[in-house]
Amino acid sequence: MSKKKLTKDWVGNYLKNNPSFLTDFVVKNVPLTMLLEWRKDKETRKSNVGKDGVFSGAVKSIQKMSKSQALPDLAVAEVGQRKTISDLKEFIEDPEKKESRQLQRKKTMGELTGPQQEDLFFELILDIAHELAVDALCNKILSNVAMLTGSDRCSLFLVRVSGKGQQFLESKLFESSDPAGRICTPMQEGGISVQIPFGKGIAGLVAQTKKPVNVVDAHKDERFNTEIDRKTGYRTKSLLTMPVFNFEGSVIGVAQIMNKQGGDEVFSKQDEWIFEKFLVFCGISLTNAELFGLSLSEFKMNKLLLVLTKGIFAEQTKLDSLTRRIMLDIHSIISCDRCIMYLVNFTASVEQDVEITKAYDLTVSDKTILNPSDDALKKFPATNFALQVARTGESHEFDAKNQEVEPLVSDTGYEIRSVMSMPVLDTHKHVVGVVQLINKFNNEAFNPSDIKTIATFALFCGLGIYNCRLYESMVKMIARQKVNLDVLSYYAAASDSETSDLVSSTVLKSQKLKLTALDFFDSSLSDSETAKAIITIFTELNFIEHFRIQTDILCRWILSVKKNYRPYPYHNWRHAVNVVQMMFYCITVGDVKSVLSELEKFALIVASVCHDLDYRPEIFRIKQPLQMLYSLQSVEHHYADQCIMLLNHEKTNVFHSLGTDEYRVVLELLESCILSADLTDFTKNIKSFQDIVSKEKVNWTVDYNRRLLRSMLMAGSDVCITCKPWSTQVKVVQAIFTDYCRLTEEGRPGGKPDKSGASVQKRMRTELPKMQVAFLDAVCLPLYLLLSNAFPLLKPTHDACLANRSQWKKHAEEAQRSAKSTLSHTSPSSASSSSSSSSSSSSSSSSSSSSSLPTLPPQPP
């Protein structure tokens, strides 16, 4: 058999005579974009292509086919091209046929043939598959259910959960037939959605048992609630109720169809099958729509959190401004008439009752925020709920309808139907306020989502209120501290008359005061000359001119520092004068000034004057306030704090003319120098300093090298008594040791000072020389040797210290011989007793020696 030759006319005739073939071919092979191009080409080339042409025939064939055939394949085929179903609908819905297709959809399943029934079923499934708005989806479900089953009316209930975790059904829509088409309206009573508990009525029973119920005559079934028919005037006869499941098999809703139209007006098994199958897809669509709605709600919640966080961190200085800002930010997401924020405080009475300190009343409609008076709050009914929440710390809900009570009415006539009150907690879980939402829109009750929003809002309000109150308390504390500082400075600072006398006095030369001599000692100066000596040092180091220090400020600062040194045997103002003189000696005579900057010299001199400021022995005793304050820090931190406190006062701030950067640097240098007087890290620092000095040429431009040098200079100045003449040193060391013994005896459990001084004199003869030799060997001699190696002009300090060491060594040997002689002349029994006593004394001496040294002012025992 010969093959028939294919021609254009033959193919065209074949396609016209076989439209189903054309439909299948186009759906499977032609991209959606090409179909859209065809339609566009058709509109622009109507004059060139006849109504019976191939293109026209293809379009008509596609218009005649059902969406159920065209949509799935095309949708899958065009995913990569990002085309939507609506594009295909626009192509299929030819304007000339649109009206006739809508009339066709109004037919019921019984009026269509088998293939048409399948087409309609899938078309209705696709109609709900792409709807993500819950209300619109419920509308489509009811309309499509009525069309499929031929029912007169239908309704849909969705499962909801109350704040107490109880499930109930909430009516969404009620659909009825109408000559102009089906109408879907909310099923409500008094403007509020109908709520049905699980197990109550036919719908509640279906939700609870998960089984469908088909009632032939509803009014003969005792489970049917006739109240709705009575109110609406509608007569329900046949009733088919079925559950709607999600993919997990849980009930998410209940659908009802009423009064079968045509025939015996009873829903058949076929109706049950169609209804059940369609609800499977409805359950999937409802789940997706609610998940989408939940994601939108979470998005809004996250957006709210960002806005609230921004508002909180933008305004933390004033509580009033913060509260107003947060409430204005939140109003757009609160679906209620009013929002009230109560700020509360607990009274100091025995009952610890709560009182409202302030309230903010936001009217959402016009965004106005008012501050109700106390009388207005007392008369407002919802205030009682806020007080209850403040007392218990637990949220409270009021819903007049669900609780079957009358709405509350204020004295202004405002009706309160629903109230949600949430406590506002600070970081310590204390109630600081109550946030209250009143009258949710559409007369609905507050749902779990609303409660979550309110709880989040309350959380951020709590953070904001806590931060603002903390800031306000800090402002008050700073103000109080400033007042206290002014009061203290009045007593701690020198008087105007004293300052004037010092300002008008003559500045003495350093040579006259022997400030450049190594054997200088404060005993050669009168009380007034000690203050003048500091002025001389500032003058000859050119600090007054270089740093533009006002004379009255300098004099007041010197006298104030002098006044804040307490009259202890050693750590007093005259000790500070000796230390600053030694620093002056190192800088000038020792030529250390050649490697130091002006700011470093300035900081070293000021630190030397203040290095033991406000020294008190009780700082070393347990449970004393100062000891508890600095228990984890060296005592030098207290000295630095006192020094800076004086400098903070404008009348005693010798750094007053420095710029911002210089002021910051000099304070850092000052604190570092005072803290370096602590010998805790002396061993580590002196080893590092030894490594630096041992080099052939030291690079003093390195910051680390200069920092170690400043530390060594402070230490060397602090122990300068060890390189003073022997007669001077003995008297000072004995005074230090006396104070040392008194402190150690008082520090022992049950210890009391020996007022007779006999024990001190004994220990001074036996222990002091040996301890002093150990101290000179361990600290002073290595320190002055390294400083002499770095700066040869400082060699006299090491020589003087070495000479004193030989004297202490001689006394130590004499004490040892005396002790042996005493032991040889004692009886065996008394020798044994003496040996025991000597052992105990030796142990005490060893312990005292290892813990602290008597000549170290920064670290007394």
* pLDDT tens, position by position, 205-240: 898 888 999 888 888 888 888 777 776 677 888 888
Rounded to whole angstroms, how far apart are CA atoms 537 and 539? 5
Nearest to 151 by CA among 182, 196, 188: 182
Q: Within a 10 A sphere around the Cβ of 298, how many other Cβ atoms?
A: 12
Q: Please give, one letter per residue, the 3-state secondary structure of 325-367.
A: HHHHHHCCCCCEEEEEEEEEEECCCCCCCEEEEEEEEEECCCC
Containing H/E element for 684?
A: helix 682-693
From the list 571, 611, 638, 649, the catalytic residue is: 571
Within 13 Å, how many C-alpha atoms sit on residue 537's CB side? Answer: 32
The token pair at 133 is 């708005």
Rounded to whole angstroms, how far apart are CA atoms 88 and 70? 8
Are the beta carbons of 339 and 362 closer than 8 angstroms? Answer: yes
Lowest mean pLDDT among 305-319, 517-531, 651-665: 305-319
Rounded to whole angstroms, how far apart are CA atoms 636 and 650? 24
Q: Within a 10 A sphere around the Cβ of 743, how many other Cβ atoms?
A: 19
User: Which residues have CB under 8 Å from 406's CB, separation 6+?
Assistant: 400
Q: What's the pLDDT band for 830 if we cut at 50, 70, 90?
A: very low
Alpha-helix runs per DSSP H in 78-216:
85-92, 98-105, 114-129, 134-149, 201-209
Look-up of token digits 């939700």:
207
Alpha-helix runs per DSSP H in 158-259:
201-209, 227-232
User: Which residues have CB under 8 Å from 278's CB, separation 6+?
Assistant: 121, 124, 125, 144, 145, 148
- 571 flagged as catalytic: yes
Kindly list the distances between the CA atom of residue 368 and the CA atoms of 321, 324, 559, in Å, as whole numbers in the listed order: 14, 10, 61
User: Tens digit of pLDDT for each residue in 39-64?
Assistant: 667 666 654 433 343 333 333 333 33
Percentage of the chain surpassing pLDDT 90?
21
Rounded to whole angstroms, how far apart are CA atoms 322 and 319? 5
Lowest mean pLDDT among 3-7, 34-38, 746-750: 746-750
Q: Is 165 left (phi over 0), alpha (psi -120 to 50) or beta?
A: left
Q: What was the pLDDT predicted at 803?
A: 93
Q: Is 532 left (phi over 0), alpha (psi -120 to 50) or beta?
A: alpha
Containing H/E element for 285?
A: helix 269-314
Q: What was the pLDDT predicted at 770?
A: 87
Rounded to whole angstroms, how far apart are CA atoms 137 and 130? 9
Kindly list the distances between the CA atom of residue 399 and the CA atoms of 137, 377, 390, 396, 404, in Å, as whole numbers in the listed order: 29, 20, 20, 10, 8
CA 23 to chain CA mean position, Å: 64
CA angle 524, 525, 528 (to 5 degrees): 170
Q: What's the pLDDT band for 148 if we cut at 50, 70, 90?
A: confident
> Which is it for strands 192-193 and 396-399: parallel, antiparallel or unpaired?
unpaired
Q: What was the pLDDT predicted at 489?
A: 61
Q: What was the pLDDT predicted at 551?
A: 94
> Which is it for strands 239-245 and 195-197: parallel, antiparallel or unpaired?
unpaired
Give the 3-state secondary structure of residue 160.
strand
pLDDT, mean over the chain: 75
Rounded to whole angstroms, how far apart are CA atoms 635 and 568? 16
User: Which residues have CB under 8 Å from 625's CB, separation 6+?
Assistant: none
123: phi then psi, degrees, rounded to nearest 5 = -65, -40
Look-up of token digits 């290095």:
611
User: Tens digit of pLDDT for each residue in 791-813?
Assistant: 999 999 999 999 999 999 998 88
Q: Please give, one letter per residue, the 3-state secondary structure of 659-726.
A: CHHHHHHHHHHHHHHHHCCCHHHHHHHHHHHHHHHCCCCCCCCCHHHHHHHHHHHHHHHHCHHHHCCH
Q: What's the pLDDT band for 428 if we cut at 50, 70, 90?
A: confident
E strand spans, 470-522:
none
> Which is it for strands 418-425 and 415-416: parallel, antiparallel or unpaired?
unpaired
Maximum alpha-carbon separation in the chain: 152
Q: What was the pLDDT predicted at 832?
A: 41
Q: What was the pLDDT predicted at 347?
A: 57
The token pair at 229 is 């028919």
Give the 3-state secondary structure of residue 151.
strand
Residue 72 pLDDT greater than 60, yes or no? no
Give the 3-state secondary structure of residue 571.
coil
Kindly list the distances between the CA atom of residue 412 and the CA atoms of 362, 376, 400, in Å, as whole numbers in the listed order: 16, 10, 19
Angle at which helices 496-504 and 551-564 cross, to 10°: 120
Rounded to whole angstroms, how far apart are CA atoms 418 and 412? 17
Nearest to 150 by CA among 192, 126, 173, 182: 182
Rounded to whole angstroms, how far apart are CA atoms 746 and 755? 12
The token pair at 82 is 């990002």
